[in-house]
Every structure is written in structure tokens, then in C-alpha cells.
Structure 1
Amino acid sequence: MEFSINLSVPEKTAADCLVLPVFGTQLSTLAAGLDKDGWLAETCNELGDSVGSTLYIPLPGRRVLLVQLGDEKKLNADALRKAALAAAKALVAGKSTSADIFLAIAAAKTLGLKDAVAIIAQALVFESYRFVQFKSEPEVAPVLTAVNIAVSKKSEVEKAEHGLQAGVALGHGMNLTRDLGNLPGNICTPTYLANAAHLLAASYKMKCTVLEKPEMEALGMGSFLSVAQGSIEPPKLICLEYQGGKKSEKPVVLVGKGITFDSGGISLKPGLDMDEMKFDMCGAATVMGVIRAIAEQGLPINVVGVIPTCENMPSGKAVKPGDIVTSMSGQTIEILNTDAEGRLILCDALTYVARYEPELVIDIATLTGAIIIGLGNVASGLFTTNDQLADDLIKASNETGDKTWRMPLWDDYQEQLKSNFADMANIGGRAAGSITAAAFLSRFTKEYTWAHLDIAGVAHKSGAAKGATGRPVPLLVEFLTQRAAAKKK
């Protein structure tokens, strides 16, 4: 799909389809030149009044897609995002090859033109996504190939183009995350992820380093390697370094859990829905999607992505409940449940990243089913003891609609991790499962500012809509964008 930003008026456009905003029951003034006989205004009464309702109307030589934006005085980013996704879905599913979209003009007054264009562009890239590479009879591809996002003044083109670049980059990052998440476990192995990281690095001139098992053994990553020992697939520790800022600036480090398939190990999971454990590497996929998005924009900030990746499988070599392992930090761990493996690979990665002298570290992981019990599929769980970092992440969440909710991380929960035989156990019992998992990770993050995002509820959907969502890429890209902007001031 090719995008453009041009000065445009509805009655003079050559596009197959015009996308026009409606506020409540009022057709926008943008359509006045098309509606000389009042027919469009009359027909728009058939459009639903809920934000995101759409209605196709045929006109001589073209089609009009009306999109409900709701009350003009209450228009905000969430409303435009919902309307843009609905419009994009209708366009992609339609028969038009080109479209002229006038939503940004209508939303610019309250949201700003750059942000409005970014939301629309991201929606179009997101809704154009299809995962069909394993189907013998591929679905019919969308025919929409050219989209113009209209502006009302020539002086607005440059600002809108910045928004377009940001929105398209975010869409591409989310779609990379979705692609990696949707791949089956027999394809997306740790080696596949490492090769994908090398390809990403080559595309954007980044540094990519992959540590193999012997190097991890030399570093003393006994916790990480204990998870990997039951599989024939070799583990990898992937390090991507994006340098968009000054060399002297400390990096933000993102650590993504990369269990490419999680059987539970000896503590075997129930068979129902076990196929969805291919999504247990969505933290890793998020890191790669975020780095793709910021690299495509050329964001002026330094970011390091670290991905510990392996399979968790049962075998004669697999780690057993009751085994004790020594982490890279030197702390010993009694493994009471081999299905609590994500924290075992993350703890060594969190120890390893201290060598980057990070400004801060955020780990992203499909870590616990308990967070789904607490927050459902709406919000990711945010854990940190740093109030400023929490505030910054919540601000980015509010800006993007990629919801997160701060959870407690009090020292009281550390009591549940006591072990009679090692420095700690890897689980703390049924109570507060997501919190004790975060409490476990916190023991390996004393050297820097740290936050943990438990994305088990938001990284993928089940049922008829089964698939990776691309979250929380929007949250993290916005967080990094705001951080880069603050450094400029």
C-alpha cells in the first residue's frame, strides 16, 4: 500500500473512494461540495450513532465511506483510533483500489494534525495485515493499493508527513510482532528468532550479537540453561543495539521473554489450548517490533534489545521439580514448578544487561496466567518500585490506548519465595501469582531502574480471532518517543 499526503477537496479527488467524517447526525462541511441535492446528508441518518460506525454510499464514478466520529466536542485519540480502525477495515475489505481520507482534517482541531495522521496511517497498516503463508489456497489479497490522507492547507503537508512516517512505522513494528507471534513453534525456533534479529539489524544498520550455549555456560547462566536442557533446540541470547542518540547517552534496555514453545516441561500443561503456547515468545517479538518501529523512524535514542530464547520441553534431560540451579548472579533457585520457566530465563538476562550500564530496563513477558485473572485481556500488568518510571509508562499508555495497570510490588510478597534449600523458590504459591513472579525478577535488578510488563493477557487473542495482537508495541514506542523528545529539550 502506497501512502501520500496531499492538499485535497472531496469534489475534485480522483480516488475510487472518499472517506468522510460524520459527527453525530451531521455530515461534515467537507462533503458540502458533493451534496448539492442534500442526498448525502439525508442518507447519513442511516449511519449508526456509535463511534466507528461506517456506511458505504455509491456515487457516480466513486464510492463514499461515511465514518462516525461521535460528538465533535468529545473527539479524542481513543475515538479517532476506533473510527480509523473501522474505516481501515471497511476499506481493506472493499473493492476500491484507491482512497482519499478526510478524517485527519476533521480531527486536527482537537488532536493536532500530526497525531491524527499517525493514528489513521497506523490503522491502515494494521488492518491490511494478513497471515496466510501456510495456506495452500491463499485468501484474496486486498485490492486497496493507494491511500491519500488529505490536508486542507499546503503548509500542513510537512507536519502531516511526520505523522504518516510515525504511524506507518508503528504499524510495521506491530505487524512484525504479530508475524513472529503467529508463526508455529516448529518454524519459529530460537535459531529462527536469532536469524530474524540478524536480518532486522542488517536492514537498519544495527549491531546484532547472538550468544550460544557455550558462551552462556561460561557466563554462569545456570538458570536460563536449565529451562533449555529438555529441548533439542539450542538456546540463544540475542542482543540488538540501536544507536539513534549520542554515543555518550546510556541506553534504554528492553528484555523480551522468548520461550518459542512452552509445554510446561515436566510440570506438563493440560492439552487444551496448549497450541497457544507458541505465543510465549511474544515478549521477544515485542522487543523486535519496537526496535523495528523506532529504527524506521530514526528515533534519536539509544535502545538495546535483549532476548533470552529457548523451548521448555519434557524429556529425560529436562529440569525436574525440586532441582536447584545457580543463576548468573550467583543466587540459587529451587525449581518447584518447571512451568514457571519465564522468570528463570529472564533472571539471567536481567543480570547480563547490567553490562550496558542502562539508563533503565523494562522486561516484557507473557509471564503469568494470574495477570489474566486480575486484569483480563484489557491491560498489561505494570510492576516497578520507581514512581517516575511508572508515571511515564502510564502516560504513554493513556496516549496510545494500549492499556496498562500498575500493580503492587511491596517487599511483603518476597516472603512467599522462601526456600528451605536454596536462596529462593521459583514460585510463591497460588496467591498473588503475578506479583510474586515480579518479586522474583526484582531480586536480579538491584543495579538499575527497572520495570516489568506482564503481557500474558494482551499479547494474543483466543477463539475465532486467535492471533498475536502486536501489543504492547504502541505503549513502548510512545514511551521511547516521549523520552527522546524530553532529551531534546
Structure 2
Amino acid sequence: MNFELKTLRLNEAAAGKSGALVVLVADDFKAGEDAISALVRRAIDGGDFKTEAGRMLQAYGAVRVMPPRLILAGIGDGSAASVRKAVAAAVAALKGGSAKDIALCFSGPATGPAVAAAVHAAADASYVYTATKSKPEPSKLARVLVGVPDADADADELREAFATAVAAVRGIQVAREWANRPANHATPMHLAEAARELAKGARFACEILGPKEVSKLGMGAFMAVARGSEQELRFIVLRYTGTAKSTAPVVLVGKGITFDTGGISIKPAAEMDEMKYDMSGAASVLGVFRSLAELKPAVNVVGLIPACENMPDGRAIKPGDVVTSMSGQTIEILNTDAEGRLVLCDALTYAKRFEPSALIDIATLTGACVIALGGVRSGLFANNDDLSQALVRAGNKAQDLCWPMPLDEEYAEGLKTNFADVANVAGRAAGSVTAAKFLQRFVEKTPWAHLDIAGTAWKGGAAKGATGRPVALLLQYLVDQGKQVLPATPLKASRKSGAGAKASAKVQQASRRGKPH
């Protein structure tokens, strides 16, 4: 899907040639002299349309409106959350129709976050999974125009928000696509190949390590998890260089358990199919690198993905086994279903060789985090207040929310054991915190954060599918770190001659660099 941003008044939107026009109407709507303004005012006065977020009024073949389908969509106070709700509803209403391109037109002033929310909502609502269907029916929607009124004063903010959002949705689509694939179509080898393809022609390098290389590194915890599977493990290393090589990178570590049976501590059969999503952390790292290739922020980033299956065959690790991690610490495995922390601990040890400015791991780690935070916010654990606050700010800005959780030393008491340096699980109480405390042992003084995305990486039920979170949060954090500054060329008004297209050329070109994998 291609995106374009340009200035667009309501009369120009009415004269456009898009297949459908969605007019976003806020509570403070001020009617102009154009046909759409008159229609909005009559609908409000007649009580047939309300401007609260998510309310819609549809019309077909409206007088003096060229697009055949017209939707008036309320955005309430005009906040990012309200815009996202409105656009999601409008695009969903258009999804079954024939429109291949739509215009999302703000009827009044728009902020950067609101513009970004419109992009995210349109991409999310139009996403269709097709990879393993015999007769795929991909989304018909190929182009989205986001129109804003004259906004010379806010052009820089709008452009930056728009470009970041477009890059984010490219990465989110990659993350969703790989997380949604069945485990037999997303093995460790498949992930490695996906990483290689992603790196081709992009501004980053890719290295793939197999069992022999991982063994030489002494990653005993990672190898222990992989032992029970016929699928060989892969350790994926991605490197994006957006600034001087001497600048310390941010290292992202994504949990890549491509399927998790629980091992010998096997899971219940109900909903076990959803354990294909246990590599959502890895998928988010792939997604972030797709976004980096699009946006090219001035920051260095390393991505690490320890990928394997957790299966219960005769070679699988057993409860009570003791393994030696890459750090040299020994681990008693009391529960083989707490395998994510075992693959992550070796990857975190490996990450320290890059001397990162920040080390962030992303993992569907604990059901306890789902109980604590549900599917609204990801759990955030950090040993550094500045890093924690920066991630919270990035999440708020990207509408990809997280919540700081505690890391008091007392929580580590349950990890003590008589038979190794540390046990891989504690009791049921504060399970997400004790899991984070386990990981903390392996980062030492490196500024580190752990994002537990077990509640936010996918949805169940009728809406079952990957969300692509927290790609948007991570990308925003990286952009903020790189202090990305986009071109300052102001957006110019779109006249009857179509002059507005030139004003948006750079943004439009940026939004079309490459296609999602």
C-alpha cells in the first residue's frame, strides 16, 4: 500500500478522483462554503450525524462530490486515539467495496499524532493475511491519501509524523506477516532466510549462525532449548549503520521461539496453536529493520534473534537439568516451558560485545504479564530510569503503549536454588517480574530494558492475529535517539491544477521505497 500526504481543502477533496472519500469531522467543525461542509452541517443539524469518535454517516453519489463513496467520520476531540478509532471504522466499512484508493481528509486543523494515527489505522484495518491460503484474496486498497488543510506553520511536524508512521506500518506488516504464519512455514531457517532477503539492497548487514557457531560461543542455555526439535536453531545478527561507526549502537534482542509446546513441561492442548506467536519478539525485530530501511534514521542498531523450537522428544531437556549459559552461570531448569528466558539470556550475553548504549529485549515471555496488563500495554522492565522514561515517551507518541514494572531485588529470592547459580523459574507470584529478574542477571551494568509483549503481540478469538507490536514503539524510540530531522520544505496548497502533488513529492517518494516482504 502506498501513502501520500498533501494539503487538501474540502472543496478540492470533493473534486478529487479517489474511489472513496472519508471526511474526518471534529467536535469544533467550522463549515465552509463547499458542498461537503454544507452536507456535514445539515447532517449534524438534522441529528443524523454526530462527531463523537467512531460515528459515521455514509453516502453514495453525493451531489457535487466526485468520489462515488463518501463517509463522514466523527473524530471527537481530534486526538490521535479518536482519529485511529474513526479511520479504523471507516476503512473497515470500505473493505468489502471496490475502492482501490481512498482519501482521508481532515476537515479542520490536524496534529502530527493525528496524521500518524490515520496512517496506522488505515494500514491496520486493510491488512489481510494470504500467505498460506490456496485462493488468496488480498486487500484491494492500494493507495491512501491523507489530506490536511493549509498547515504551513505545522508542516515540519506533520511531515515527520507522517514519514515515521509510514515507515512503522511497513515494519508492522512484516512483523504481522511472520508472526501469523504457521510454525511449519516459519521455522528458524525460514526466519533466517527472511532476514537475508530483508538485508538485500538495504542499509544493513545480516549474519546467520548455525548450531556449530553457537556451540563454539558456549550458548549452552540456547542450545538446551533447541535440543528437542528436529529443526536446527539459527542465531540471526542484523546490523544497521545510520551514523558514525564509532557511535554505540542500540541492540534489540527478539525472542524467536517459532513454536512452543512447553517441552517436557508440555502445555495444555487448548489454544496451543497460538504458540506460533511465541516468535513475535523476533518478528518485531525484523519489522523494525524493515522500518529502518525505509526511514534511515541517524542511529546505529544491532538486531539479535535466537530462533529455535521448544519440542518434547527424547533429547529434550528435563525438569531438574542444569545447563551452563554463555555467561558461565549455571541454570537449573525447573520448568521447560520457561524456555524464552533461556534463549534470551545467551543472546543478552552476546549483545554486550557491541558495548551498546541501550540493550532492549522483546519477548512473549509470561502469561503473568497478560494477567497484570491485559492486551492494552506491554510490560516494561528496566535497570535504567532514563531508558525506561524514553521508552514510555516513545510508546505514548506512537500510540503503542507500555507500562513500567518493578525490579526490586527482593523479587529475585525465588530464583535461588541448591543445585545451580540460578533457577529458571520462581513461584507463581509476580511471575513477569521474576522472569525479568532472571534476565537482569545477564546484562550486568548495561542500560537494559525488557518488553514483555505476551498480552500485546497478538489477539485471540474472532480477531485472532498478530498486532505487529511493539514495532511502532521501538521505531519511535530509535528515531528519538537519532534525533531524526526531516526536510523542512513546507507543504504547499493543492490547487485545481494539482500543484499540491509537487509539495508532497518527497514524502510520497519516501513512502514508496520498496515493498513490504
TM-score, scaled relative to structure 2: 0.87
Distance 2:433 2:155 in 1: 47
Distance 1:33 1:418 in 2: 72
Does the C-alpha gap of structure 1 residues 162 and 434 become closer, same or farther in structure 2, counting only changes over 3 Å? closer
Distance 1:332 1:461 in 2: 36
Deviation at 1:248, TM superposition (A): 1.4
Distance 2:255 2:223 in 1: 14
Distance 1:34 1:405 in 2: 45
Does the C-alpha gap of structure 1 residues 35 and 238 become closer, same or farther in structure 2, counting only changes over 3 Å? closer
Deviation at 1:39, TM superposition (A): 4.5
Does the C-alpha gap of structure 1 residues 344 and 487 become closer, same or farther in structure 2, counting only changes over 3 Å? farther
Q: Which amino acid aligns with 1:338?
A: T
Distance 1:213 1:472 in 2: 29
1:144 corresponds in structure 2 to 141
User: 1:173·1:292 contact (CA, 8 Å) conserved in 2?
Assistant: yes
2:59 corresponds in structure 1 to 57
Deviation at 1:152, TM superposition (A): 3.3
Q: Deviations over 1:223-282 (max 9, x none)?
A: 110000000100111000011122111000000000000000000100000000000000
Q: Deviations over 1:98-123 (max 9, x none)?
A: 333222x6242xx24xx443332232
1:33 corresponds in structure 2 to 34
2:261 corresponds in structure 1 to 263
My pick for the range that moved more, 337-346 or 293-302, is 293-302
User: 1:125·1:168 contact (CA, 8 Å) conserved in 2?
Assistant: no
1:467 corresponds in structure 2 to 465
Distance 1:405 1:6 in 2: 35
My pick for the range that moved more, 378-387 or 260-269, is 378-387
**1:327-338, aligned counterparts within 5 Å?**
327-338=325-336
Q: Which amino acid aligns with 1:270?
A: P
Q: Does 1:195 align with 2:183?
A: no
Deviation at 1:295, TM superposition (A): 1.9
Distance 1:217 1:39 in 2: 69
1:19 counterpart (17, 22, 25): 22
RMSD over aligned Cα atoms: 2.2
1:323 counterpart (321, 324, 347): 321
1:92 corresponds in structure 2 to 95
Distance 1:304 1:340 in 2: 25
Deviation at 1:90, TM superposition (A): 3.0
Distance 1:413 1:168 in 2: 41
User: 1:77·1:399 contact (CA, 8 Å) conserved in 2?
Assistant: no
Q: Does 1:133 align with 2:131?
A: yes
Q: Deviations over 1:139-169 (max 9, x none)?
A: 3x44433332224349577765544332221
Q: Deviations over 1:176-206 (max 9, x none)?
A: 1000100000110000000000111114131
2:180 counterpart (171, 179, 182): 182
Greater relative contact order (Cα < 8 A, sep 6+): 2
Deviation at 1:301, TM superposition (A): 0.6
- SS of the equivalent of 2:129 reads coil
1:8 corresponds in structure 2 to 8
Does the C-alpha gap of structure 1 residues 136 and 48 become closer, same or farther in structure 2, counting only changes over 3 Å? farther
Distance 2:151 2:461 in 1: 47
User: 2:40·2:72 contact (CA, 8 Å) conserved in 1?
Assistant: no
Distance 1:296 1:476 in 2: 14
Deviation at 1:128, TM superposition (A): 2.2
User: 1:151·1:157 contact (CA, 8 Å) conserved in 2?
Assistant: no
Deviation at 1:92, TM superposition (A): 3.5
Q: Which amino acid aligns with 2:181?
A: L
Distance 1:128 1:298 in 2: 26
Distance 1:124 1:468 in 2: 16
- SS of the equivalent of 1:84 reads helix
Does the C-alpha gap of structure 1 residues 91 and 169 become closer, same or farther in structure 2, counting only changes over 3 Å? farther
User: 1:459·1:468 contact (CA, 8 Å) conserved in 2?
Assistant: yes
Gapped regions of structure 1 (runs ≥ 5): none
My pick for the range that moved more, 257-266 or 13-22, is 13-22
Distance 1:98 1:91 in 2: 10
1:68 corresponds in structure 2 to 74
- SS of the equivalent of 1:195 reads helix
Deviation at 1:344, TM superposition (A): 0.4
Gapped regions of structure 2 (runs ≥ 5): 487-517
1:350 corresponds in structure 2 to 348
Q: Which amino acid aligns with 1:377?
A: G
User: 2:285·2:303 contact (CA, 8 Å) conserved in 1?
Assistant: yes
My pick for the range that moved more, 8-17 or 327-336, is 8-17
Q: Which amino acid aligns with 2:35?
A: L
Report percent identity of matched pairs.
Answer: 47
1:273 corresponds in structure 2 to 271
TM-score, scaled relative to structure 1: 0.92
Distance 1:354 1:214 in 2: 21
Q: Which amino acid aligns with 1:100?
A: A
Distance 1:486 1:121 in 2: 19
User: 2:104·2:147 contact (CA, 8 Å) conserved in 1?
Assistant: yes
Q: Deviations over 1:17-53 (max 9, x none)?
A: 32212234x75436x41158x4442224323453122
User: 2:25·2:51 contact (CA, 8 Å) conserved in 1?
Assistant: no
Does the C-alpha gap of structure 1 residues 98 and 167 become closer, same or farther in structure 2, counting only changes over 3 Å? same
Does the C-alpha gap of structure 1 residues 486 and 33 become closer, same or farther in structure 2, counting only changes over 3 Å? closer
Does the C-alpha gap of structure 1 residues 401 and 161 become closer, same or farther in structure 2, counting only changes over 3 Å? closer
Distance 2:223 2:126 in 1: 39
Distance 1:431 1:162 in 2: 43
Distance 1:463 1:293 in 2: 29
My pick for the range that moved more, 219-228 or 160-169, is 160-169
Distance 2:281 2:93 in 1: 30
User: 1:120·1:167 contact (CA, 8 Å) conserved in 2?
Assistant: no
- SS of the equivalent of 2:208 reads strand
2:104 counterpart (80, 101, 105): 101
Q: Which amino acid aligns with 1:327?
A: S
2:300 corresponds in structure 1 to 302
Does the C-alpha gap of structure 1 residues 363 and 266 become closer, same or farther in structure 2, counting only changes over 3 Å? same
Report the number of matched residues: 476
Does the C-alpha gap of structure 1 residues 10 and 389 become closer, same or farther in structure 2, counting only changes over 3 Å? same
2:84 corresponds in structure 1 to 81
Deviation at 1:414, TM superposition (A): 1.2
Distance 2:236 2:131 in 1: 26
Distance 2:430 2:229 in 1: 30
Distance 1:351 1:97 in 2: 48
User: 2:25·2:108 contact (CA, 8 Å) conserved in 1?
Assistant: no
Distance 2:362 2:87 in 1: 28
Distance 2:438 2:126 in 1: 40
Q: Which amino acid aligns with 1:411?
A: E
**1:387-398, aligned counterparts within 5 Å?**
387-398=385-396
My pick for the range that moved more, 190-199 or 122-131, is 122-131
